[in-house]
Chains A and B, each alone.
Chain A
Amino acid sequence: MAGIMENIYTPVLLPLENVITETPTIKTFVIRPESPIRFRAGQFMQLTAPGVGEAPFTPSSSPYEPEKIEITVLRTGMVTDDLHGLKPGDMVGVRGPFGKGYPIEKFYNKEILVVGGGVGLAPLRSLLLALFHDIDKVKRVSIKYGARNPEELVYRGFYEEWSKYEKVDLTVTIDNPSPGWSGNVGLVTELLKDLDIDLENSYAISCGPEVMLKFVTRSLLNAGFAPQQIYLSMNRNMSCGMGICGRCNIGPYYICKDGPDMNYDLIKDIPGVLG
């Protein structure tokens, strides 16, 4: 599969249909391509801010709606600074999709624990929407989500809708007390204590800053998860997206080609993984 590009390096230019402000630092960009861009939940695309450069993002929309792609972006560097200045009608470039995506078939008939931090809920939303699409096939979806403060919680308008599924539960926490917040306070790892989950028949999937992944992994292992039951969205600098430019490697794996969601068992012994 060579993605949607003729020349692997050339982005396909598409107009933004809409720009949604999620939080003061996070926006969602909505693209309606001329022909649907089919992708698996967890696969990513290289998004070009014309003239500035490109960076990898995993769509946050459902893979079952390939005619409308949503990409949620935290403003944190050169490319994302520029993207955040774009308005509906402005052009962005797209290459991809790249990577393997979540092995979603493995999650069927299992209890799925989804742990997100900050903008890390974006790729997870694509996974969640894919799981909800076939909700009969999974036993349970338990979502634990944390952000630094209430303003930085993304997709707040969706939590109620998601929680309506009988098999779905969602718990949210913020790192520090905040005026007007009456929910949980504490790091997301607090939500992983005393898990009521069928350990034998479950998978845990996490996405967030690397330091969070480190502590989430530790908590999951302590809770009795085997490394093979844990999938982590690894963050690495990517340039090509195709496993050839070299920079995103973790040991023998290229995160762009073999990930970005990696089974923890494959990477746990490689120096430098999770700091």
Chain B
Amino acid sequence: MHFIKSSNMPRFIARLSSISTVYVPYTLDDKQYFINSWVEMRAKDESFSFNPFRTALPFLKAFLSQPKCIVAEYLLESSTMETFEKPQIIFGMKACDLLGRKVLDTVFLKGEYIDPLYKRRSENTIIISGDCTEALQSCFCTMVGLQPYPEEQYDLNMSPVNGGYLFEIGSVMGEQIIRDHSDLFTEATEKHINERNQQRSRLKEIVDRQNQHLTTESRQRIIEKNLNAQIWNDASQTCVECNGCNHVCPTCYCFLLYDQKHNEGIERVKVWDSCFYAGYARMAGGITPRLHLVDRFRNHYYHKFDTFVTNYGFEACAGCGRCIESCMGRIDKRDVLKRIERYVELK
């Protein structure tokens, strides 16, 4: 484990910036965090601001599997597809974002077919994640089996401690970075590590406590048992089908392919899609297998907590709570699951 003084962070990032595009967190009001490139940020502020909780939007998903990109082209004289050579280093990602990455990797890299663009982006992305030191009200990572600090899927992970940050190595690439900049780091002391561990258990307690009345278990079983229950109609009453929950979800990966003309040729575009749209599964001729909102609403839960588990062995929910924050119908995923669980108990 390695320690870096806060005052050395700008120098560290500036050096990384010379060989890659570095994205760092920023905030305007301390309530919501976003990320931007260090080069652009530096014009305003030379310091590094550590985000105590997740960013408002799932940036890691957007970096790995872009909201919209050209994935193929045909009948074109010369290629306009992206050539992705300069690596990107992303700070500010949390355990929930990394679970998102695990889902995307599973779908785009580990199946029978490999998404070439995702693969290239993934190989060119270095993740310097961080522990959470505060929890938002919507956070429920510990309910879905995560910790409020990263345990996998990162190259380096940062834990803020008195006077600076602890860096833990998660990959060969991460190790290389520390080695290349060893003049900025010292060996972490036991005191540092104790401080980190205390902070971690403190935050885990906070997240556990704020969800103690909303926690559910055996979600796959309770959903499977209640696929036809009235609860889905009740729970979806206030959904206005804005699809916000899916677009801010770090694990939602559905996409649509469409073709468009470009110069003399054709480009094939891959764009994020969302299963709440009425036209999502509509077929030529107009028939749609999930005609009613309640069918699509149920499908969202059914997929994340049941069929994804059946197919890949883990839940496709990171407990980041962005879906809760974004919902104008004030639908809380924890609450829906709890209602389903109660429904099972009552029966």
Interface of A toward B, CB cutoff 8 Å = 1-2, 7-11, 13, 48, 50-55, 76-80, 91, 93, 210, 235-237, 239-240, 242-252, 257, 270-272
Q: Which of A48, A80, A257 contacts B259 (CB 8 A)?
A: A48
Separation of A11 and B268 alpha carbons in the complex (Å): 10
Q: Which residue of A lies closest to B268 (CB)?
A: A9
Which B residues lie within 8 Å of A93 (CB)? 74
Which A residues lie within 8 Å of B255 (CB)? 239-240, 245-246
B71 on interface, CB distance cutoff 8 Å: yes
Add 18 more A-B contacts to A76-B285, A251-B302 (CB < 8 A).
A1-B112, A7-B72, A8-B116, A11-B74, A13-B75, A54-B257, A76-B284, A77-B285, A236-B289, A237-B283, A243-B111, A244-B253, A246-B254, A246-B275, A247-B254, A247-B280, A271-B227, A272-B290
Chain B residues numbered 286-326 whose CB sits less than 8 Å from any CB in chain A: 287-290, 295, 298-299, 302-303, 306-307, 310-311
B270 on interface, CB distance cutoff 8 Å: yes
B239 on interface, CB distance cutoff 8 Å: no
Task: Given A7-B72, A272-B290, decide whether A247 and B281 contact each other with a Cβ distance below 8 A.
Answer: yes
A239 touches B228 (CB 8 A): no
B310 touches A252 (CB 8 A): yes
Chain B residues numbered 244-270 whose CB sits less than 8 Å from any CB in chain A: 253-261, 266, 268, 270
A7 touches B71 (CB 8 A): yes
Which A residues lie within 8 Å of B298 (CB)? 271
Which A residues lie within 8 Å of B72 (CB)? 7, 9-11
Q: Which residue of B lies closest to A271 (CB)?
A: B227
B82 to chain A, nearest CB (A): 13
Chain B's interface: helix, strand, loop or mixed, by majority? mixed
Separation of A48 and B257 alpha carbons in the complex (Å): 11
A244 touches B107 (CB 8 A): yes
B240 on interface, CB distance cutoff 8 Å: no
B257 touches A240 (CB 8 A): yes
Which of A48, A243, A249 has most B Cβ within 10 Å?
A: A249
Separation of A242 and B228 alpha carbons in the complex (Å): 29
Chain B 220-251 per-residue mask, 1 if CB under 8 angstroms from chain A, else 0: 00000001100000000000000000000000
Mind listing 9 A-B residue pairs with CB under 8 Å? A11-B268, A54-B259, A91-B75, A239-B273, A243-B113, A244-B253, A245-B254, A252-B311, A257-B112
Which B residues lie within 8 Å of A7 (CB)? 71-72, 116
Separation of A7 and B75 alpha carbons in the complex (Å): 15
B205 on interface, CB distance cutoff 8 Å: no
B73 on interface, CB distance cutoff 8 Å: yes
Q: Which of B228, B259, B281, B302 contacts A52 (CB 8 A)?
A: B259
Of the four ranges (under 10, 10 to 19, 20 to 34, 35 or more), the interface on chain B belongs to 35 or more
Chain A's interface: helix, strand, loop or mixed, by majority? loop
Which B residues lie within 8 Å of A235 (CB)? 283, 287
Which B residues lie within 8 Å of A76 (CB)? 284-285
B107 touches A252 (CB 8 A): no
Which A residues lie within 8 Å of B113 (CB)? 2, 8, 242-244
Q: Which of B108, B275, B281, B289 contacts A244 (CB 8 A)?
A: B108
A272 touches B307 (CB 8 A): no
Q: Which residue of A lies closest to B70 (CB)?
A: A9
Task: Given A77-B284, A247-B273, A271-B295, decide whether A50 and B74 contact each other with a Cβ distance below 8 A.
Answer: yes
A271 touches B74 (CB 8 A): no
Separation of A237 and B273 alpha carbons in the complex (Å): 13
Q: Which of A9, A55, A240, A251 contacts B307 (CB 8 A)?
A: A251
Q: Which residue of B lies closest to A234 (CB)?
A: B289
A9 touches B75 (CB 8 A): no
B115 on interface, CB distance cutoff 8 Å: yes
Which B residues lie within 8 Å of A51 (CB)? 259-261, 266
B238 to chain A, nearest CB (A): 21
Q: Which residue of B lies closest to A91 (CB)?
A: B75
Separation of A72 and B107 alpha carbons in the complex (Å): 32
B68 on interface, CB distance cutoff 8 Å: no
Chain B residues numbered 163-210 whose CB sits less than 8 Å from any CB in chain A: none
